[in-house]
Amino acid sequence: AGSLRRNATSHLNLVKRATKQQQQQQVMELNRSDLNEDVRRAIQAIVNEVCSVHKDEDAAAQNIKRKLDGQLGSTWHVIVGRSYACHVGHEKNTFGVFKNDNLNIVVFKAGL
């Protein structure tokens, strides 16, 4: 019985790790980005983390922005939605368009 429980626990941990890896791979870059590789990876991790918890556009945008400002400095702007178009002015090397499941996410940094 103990061996059976250990096997079941081990299998469950493998499934959790596979699910986490799939969630991390959900974000794909679209259209264009001028982000450097390290910043792009950091943003993708934040987007994956937030979108795995928040399916609501407003909550996702607010939490992504809060995390970006906290980890990458302010002032980040985040647009999250299912279908929209936008044109924004931004600081150099701070613009990215991402997709997570059915949400489109635009992030850019602009401020004084």
Q: Which residues pair with 81 in a beta bridge?
A: 104
Position 22 in a domain: no
pLDDT in tens, 60-98: 999 999 999 999 998 999 999 999 888 888 989 999 999
85 within domain boundaries: yes
What's the confidence (pLDDT) of residue 11? 55
The b-or-e profile of 93-103 (16+ CB within 10 A means b, else e) is ebbbbbbbeeb
The model's pTM is 0.73
Q: Nearest 5°: CA angle at 98, between 20 and 54? A: 55
Report the number of distinct structural domains present in the chain.
1
pLDDT score at 29:
55
Domain span including residue 99: 27-109
Would 64 be classed as within a structural domain? yes
Domain for residue 20, yes or no?
no
Q: 8 in a domain, yes or no? A: no
At residue 28, the pLDDT reads 64
Q: Is residue 33 part of a domain?
A: yes
Q: Is residue 1 part of a domain?
A: no
Establish if 15 belongs to a structural domain. no
Give the CATH number of the domain where residue 41 resides.
3.30.740.10
Tokens (6 digits) for 75: 């002032």
